[in-house]
């Protein structure tokens, strides 16, 4: 019924792979594009990580050590942009590319050529962004949030920053449209919406967020561009505008962006915890509704990033209560994961360790988030190391650990070989310990008043800063283990079975490891028994 | 879901995505260099835009070829529909950012600068002579700096019941003509299809022409420019981006017209036509918002 049609008018046979550089440059294959996304993400993770190392080296002691303040500020700014847009988002899209067609029983993504363009934009967009380091005036140094009027003072790099953001936005929107079209239109017969694996669900909702939020960011930076070059006055009070307007528009994008980053990670651990607890996910439907609620609410909380900017009281109160409301669906998810493990036959392979790490440490980051959601209290925490501790807890052990757990979980499926479990466990324990040494003391120095984005500090913060820096270097080094595990796993090892894990369910585990070049040329029939639950 | 008679079309490896990426990359580099004041940048920008046009024509001729050869089944058609719908939604959100900015400025920040609510101190200490009115003809800066002001005063704004009203009628009529063209296509009547489409394209380009005339009038006679404070900023940002979208939409309609004249599309299978028609209606609706909130009230 369907075997020959994929290569209708060519003579190549079913599992023929294109060869050479063209296989990658011109690819229309979701697995190859997914691999490119993941490799790119790993490279950017180390580039952004190197910038973090510069920051921690400079902050190891008070006073100026290695870099001048302008460059330090470029490091904090570009570290954030690289990690958010270059490491975490592409990792999520890479996993989506690899897994969604296999999980829903599709031959590929809905629009394979557009999929290729979504990926290839990324390296070029980051070339635009990183080239600013070599320009007059240096790289962006006004913070990744690009607040005017500070960002408008950037030198020749300014239009390159703006266009890099536009470029990345184009990539994200095309990627999101593709994922929605794929899930809506390419599901195998019987794969109803409420049978979708949770990872697919979280990605549809993420894709909605991307399509709604990224254009708003494009609008915000476009207004920056015209303010700088065409004499408009959007963000200049002297012309009737308001710099705070930028913050509103930016965070209208920025808060949904937070969930764009985290929801795929939630989806990943919702796949992993049931596998290693050998129990179906507790409260599947409530997980779906909780994810959708989080996404919906994320559009009504943006100004909690701006409590100290001087908003009217009604605004402060509204955004405080709306923020508190998000804790409810998030709590539903945390309790569901915990209940999934309750009385399960648990084993603790590396993916499960990382997933449990997410559960504990994301929740910790969530708690400090609740603290800052309380408007009067936030007046003390705002722009201190407390917020740095908060968002790094949710981003690193919350999101990056989630992505890493997904990589360990599905890597045997991708390569056909089991990874080295001993090295995996070593990677987990070194990362989990060092990440806490790195970020936990930031709460203390933040509460004590150390401001963020400053290259020097008062001497009473020295001890904790040294400990933080040591934790930072240890965390950075620990990630080299991941690279070693991945390379080793690609080169060989114990053969992985189709199912890979004893308790694994889902269509991706019905395919061979590694799967054929085109996943499901004949759509499988999905029934309640073969669906995830 | 895959219950159609044949399998989903997965294209062969294609060079168009990477060509498109490079074209955009060159365009952005050229644009950034031009803005930084390099004359060479303009040249690179032009080359980049030419490359984008080349990419679009190449990519779409591949797609049209595949469509005509019958590679696309019903399921592919549905993918295109989802794709176009969500693309239009992303455009809605793009305009939402600028409309949001307009509302924030009109409802909150300009009254605050005029001394209302929490803004009384700003007004008292920085610009005591500034009065918040909309349309904002004089900026806070003007009340202090006089003729040396960074933002020049506006003599007059464009009245709503003048050319903008004509433009509203033009665009609304074009929405009707494109629908008439669609009805003709569904009845497989080729001649009325082409005529109504041609009328739509014409109305679109006449709209753009009037818009350009309006800009010239604003710049030369009314002193309404991008540099005349936040009224000029919002006015030109919103109408400018809309005008750009009308130009794009009219160009897309022109392509559809040429394809209709070549005999492409059938009464049942004509997604390209519908996608462009959706886009055209979207541009139309945005204009209504613009007409009400930028020109009229």
Q: Which contacts of B112-116 are long-range, i.e. CB under 8 A and separated by 24 or more positions?
A: B112/A242, B113/A237, B113/A240, B113/A242, B113/B140
For the stretch A470-509, pLDDT in tens is: 999 999 999 999 999 999 999 999 999 999 999 898 999 9
Torsion-angle region of B229 (φ positive above 0: left; ψ -120 to 50: alpha; else: beta): left
Q: Can you tell me the distance from the alpha carbon of A16 to that of B166, in angstroms, rounded to the nearest whole number?
A: 59
Q: What is the signed CA dihedral for A15, A19, A21, A24, rounded to 10 degrees?
A: 0
A241 in Cβ contact with A233 (< 8 Å) = yes
Confidence at residue A12, expressed as pLDDT on a 0 to 100 scale? 41
The class of domain B1-72 in CATH terms is: mainly alpha
3-state secondary structure chain B: CCCCCCCCCCCCCCCHHHHHHHHHHHHHHHHHHHHCCCHHHHHHHHHHHHHHHHHHHHHHHHHHHHHHCCCCCHHHHHHHHHHHHHHHHHHHHHHHHHHHHHHHHHHHHHHHHCCCHHHHHHHHHCCCCCCCCCCCCCCHHHHHHHHHCCCCCCCCCCCCCCHHHHHHHHHHHHHHHHHHHHHHHHCCCHHHHHHHHHHHHHHHHHHHHHHHHHHHHHHHHHCCCCCCHHHHHHHHHHHHHHHHHHHHHHHHHHHHHHHHHCCCCCCCCCHHHHHHHHHHHHHHHHHHHHHHHHHHC
**Regions of chain B short of the pLDDT cut 70:** 1-5
Confidence at residue A15, expressed as pLDDT on a 0 to 100 scale? 56
Confidence at residue A16, expressed as pLDDT on a 0 to 100 scale? 66
For the stretch B261-286, pLDDT in tens is: 999 999 999 999 999 999 999 999 99
Confidence at residue B147, expressed as pLDDT on a 0 to 100 scale? 73
The class of domain A1-196+517-533 in CATH terms is: mainly alpha
Place of tokens 């005036």: A137
B236 touches A: beta carbon within 8 Å = yes
Both tokens of A159, joined, read 């239009």
- The ipTM, to two decimals, is 0.95
Q: Please tell me which residue of chain A has the smallest CA distance to B38.
A: A156
Average pLDDT value for chain A: 94
B161 touches A: beta carbon within 8 Å = no
For the stretch B120-142, pLDDT in tens is: 888 999 999 999 999 999 999 98
A179 in Cβ contact with A100 (< 8 Å) = yes
A434 in Cβ contact with A474 (< 8 Å) = yes
Nearest to B32 among A120, A121, A163 (CB): A163
Enzyme catalytic residues of A: 79, 108, 144, 171-172, 255, 257, 259, 270, 304-305, 330, 333, 452
Confidence at residue A106, expressed as pLDDT on a 0 to 100 scale? 93
B58 touches A: beta carbon within 8 Å = no
CATH of the structural domain B73-296, one choice from 3.30.360.10, 1.20.120.80, 3.10.105.10, 3.50.30.10: 1.20.120.80
Q: For the residues A167-184, what does the mean pLDDT come to?
A: 97
In angstroms, what separates the C-alpha of A192 from chain B's closest C-alpha? 10
Both tokens of A165, joined, read 């953001």
Confidence at residue A529, expressed as pLDDT on a 0 to 100 scale? 67
A41 in Cβ contact with A479 (< 8 Å) = no
B interface test, pick of A109, A226, A240 with most B CB neighbours within 10 Å: A240
The CA angle A369-A284-A299, to the nearest 5 degrees, is 40
Q: Please tell me which residue of chain A has the smallest CA distance to B7.
A: A2
Residue A522's pLDDT band (cuts 50, 70, 90) = confident
Q: Look at residues B178, B193, B175, B183 and name the one whose alpha carbon lies nearest to residue B260.
A: B193
Q: Where in chain B is the domain with CATH 1.20.120.80?
A: 73-296
Check CB contact under 8 Å for A110 and B112: no
A interface test, pick of B36, B58, B74, B234 with most A CB neighbours within 10 Å: B36
In angstroms, what separates the C-alpha of A137 from chain B's closest C-alpha? 12
Check CB contact under 8 Å for B8 and A216: no
Q: Please tell me which residue of chain B has the smallest CA distance to A22.
A: B13
B121 touches A: beta carbon within 8 Å = no
For the stretch A87-140, pLDDT in tens is: 999 999 999 999 999 999 999 999 999 999 999 999 999 999 999 999 999 999
For the stretch A429-468, pLDDT in tens is: 999 999 999 999 999 999 999 999 999 999 999 999 999 9
Q: Look at residues B121, B119, B99 and name the one whose alpha carbon lies nearest to residue B109.
A: B119
Please report the sign of the dihedral spanned by the C-alpha atoms of residue B250, residue B253, residue B255, residue B258: negative
Check CB contact under 8 Å for A112 and B10: yes
What's the pTM? 0.95
Q: Look at residues A486, A446, A489, A484 and name the one whose alpha carbon lies nearest to residue A468.
A: A446
Q: Look at residues A191, A10, A108 and name the one whose alpha carbon lies nearest to residue B3.
A: A191
Confidence at residue A521, expressed as pLDDT on a 0 to 100 scale? 80
The CA angle A206-A207-A210, to the nearest 5 degrees, is 90
Q: Where in chain B is the domain with CATH 1.10.287.70?
A: 1-72
All residues of chain A having their beta carbon less than 8 Å from the beta carbon of residue B109 are 237, 240-242, 244-245
Q: Where are the domains positioned within chain A?
A: 1-196+517-533
B65 in Cβ contact with B47 (< 8 Å) = no
Confidence at residue B75, expressed as pLDDT on a 0 to 100 scale? 92
Q: For the residues A12-23, what does the mean pLDDT come to?
A: 71
A369 in Cβ contact with A412 (< 8 Å) = no
């Amino acid at each position: 019924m369907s075997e020959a049609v994929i290569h209708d008018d060519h003579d190549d046979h079913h599992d023929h792979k294109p060869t050479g550089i063209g296989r990658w440059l011109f690819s229309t294959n979701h697995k190859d594009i997914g691999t490119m996304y993941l490799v790119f993400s790993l490279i950017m993770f180390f580039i952004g990580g190197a910038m973090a190392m510069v920051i921690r080296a400079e902050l190891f002691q008070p006073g100026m050590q290695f870099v001048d303040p302008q460059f330090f500020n470029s490091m904090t700014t570009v570290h954030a942009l690289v990690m958010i847009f270059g490491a975490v988002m592409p990792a999520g899209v890479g996993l989506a590319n690899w897994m969604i067609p296999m999980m829903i029983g599709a031959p590929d993504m809905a629009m394979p050529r557009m999929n290729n363009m979504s990926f290839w934009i990324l390296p070029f967009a980051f070339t635009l962004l990183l080239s600013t380091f070599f320009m007059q005036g240096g790289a962006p140094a006004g913070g990744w949030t690009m607040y005017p009027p500070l960002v408008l003072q950037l030198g020749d790099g300014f239009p390159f920053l703006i266009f890099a953001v536009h470029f990345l936005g184009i990539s994200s929107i095309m990627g999101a449209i593709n994922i929605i079209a794929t899930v809506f239109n390419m599901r195998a017969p019987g794969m109803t919406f409420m049978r979708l694996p949770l990872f697919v669900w979280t990605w549809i909702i993420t894709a909605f967020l991307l399509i709604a939020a990224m254009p708003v960011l494009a609008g915000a930076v476009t207004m920056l561009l015209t303010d700088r070059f065409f004499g408009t006055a959007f963000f200049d009070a002297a012309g009737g505008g308001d710099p705070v307007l930028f913050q509103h528009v930016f965070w209208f994008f920025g808060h949904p962006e937070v969930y764009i980053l985290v929801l795929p990670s939630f989806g990943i651990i919702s796949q992993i915890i049931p596998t290693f607890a050998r129990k179906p996910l507790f409260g599947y439907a409530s997980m779906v509704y909780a994810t959708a609620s989080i996404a919906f609410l994320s559009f009504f909380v943006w100004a909690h990033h701006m409590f100290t900017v001087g908003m009217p009281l009604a605004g402060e109160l509204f955004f405080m209560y709306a923020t508190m409301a998000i804790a409810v669906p998030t709590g539903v998810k945390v309790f569901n994961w915990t209940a999934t493990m309750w009385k399960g036959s648990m084993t603790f392979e590396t993916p499960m360790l990382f997933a449990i790490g997410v559960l504990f440490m994301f929740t910790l980051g969530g708690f400090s988030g609740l603290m800052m959601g309380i408007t009067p209290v936030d007046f003390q925490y705002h722009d201190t190391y407390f917020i740095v501790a908060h968002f790094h807890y949710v981003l690193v052990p919350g999101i990056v650990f989630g992505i890493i757990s997904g990589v360990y979980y599905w890597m045997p499926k991708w390569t056909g070989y089991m990874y080295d479990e001993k090295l995996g466990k070593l990677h987990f324990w070194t990362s989990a310990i060092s990440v806490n040494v790195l970020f936990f003391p930031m709460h203390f120095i933040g509460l004590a008043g150390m401001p963020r984005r400053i290259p020097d500090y008062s001497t009473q913060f020295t001890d904790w800063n040294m400990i933080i820096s040591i934790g930072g270097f240890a965390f950075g080094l620990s990630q080299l283990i991941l690279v070693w595990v991945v390379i080793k796993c690609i080169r060989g090892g114990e053969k992985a079975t189709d199912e890979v894990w004893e308790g694994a369910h889902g269509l991706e585990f019905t395919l061979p490891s590694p799967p054929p070049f085109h996943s499901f040329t004949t759509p499988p029939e999905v029934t309640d028994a073969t669906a995830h639950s | 879901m895959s219950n159609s008679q044949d399998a989903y079309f997965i294209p062969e490896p294609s060079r168009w995505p990477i060509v498109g990426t490079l074209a955009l990359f060159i365009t952005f580099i050229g644009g950034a260099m031009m803005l930084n004041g390099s004359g060479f940048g303009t040249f690179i920008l032009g080359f980049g835009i030419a490359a984008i046009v080349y990419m679009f024509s190449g990519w779409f001729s591949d797609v049209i070829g595949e469509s005509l050869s019958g590679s696309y089944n019903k399921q592919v058609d549905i993918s295109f529909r989802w794709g176009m719908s969500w693309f239009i939604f992303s455009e809605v959100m793009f305009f939402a950012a600028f409309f949001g900015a307009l509302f924030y400025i009109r409802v909150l920040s300009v009254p605050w600068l005029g001394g209302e609510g929490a803004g009384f101190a700003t007004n008292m200490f920085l610009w005591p002579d500034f009065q918040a009115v909309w349309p904002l003809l004089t900026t806070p800066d003007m009340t202090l700096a006089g003729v040396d002001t960074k933002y020049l005063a506006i003599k007059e704004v464009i009245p709503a019941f003048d050319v903008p009203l004509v433009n509203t009628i033009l665009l609304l009529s074009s929405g009707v003509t494109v629908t008439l063209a669609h009805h003709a296509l569904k009845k497989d009547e080729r001649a009325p299809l082409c005529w109504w489409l041609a009328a739509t394209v014409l109305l679109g380009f006449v709209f753009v022409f009037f818009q350009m005339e309006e800009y010239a009038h604003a710049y030369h006679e009314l002193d309404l420019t991008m540099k005349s404070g936040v009224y000029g900023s919002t006015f030109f940002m919103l109408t400018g981006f809309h005008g750009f979208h009308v130009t794009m939409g009219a160009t897309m309609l022109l392509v559809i017209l040429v394809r209709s004249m070549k005999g492409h599309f059938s009464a049942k299978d004509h997604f390209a036509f519908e996608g462009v028609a959706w886009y055209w209606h979207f541009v139309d609706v945005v204009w209504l918002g613009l007409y009400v909130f930028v020109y009229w009230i």
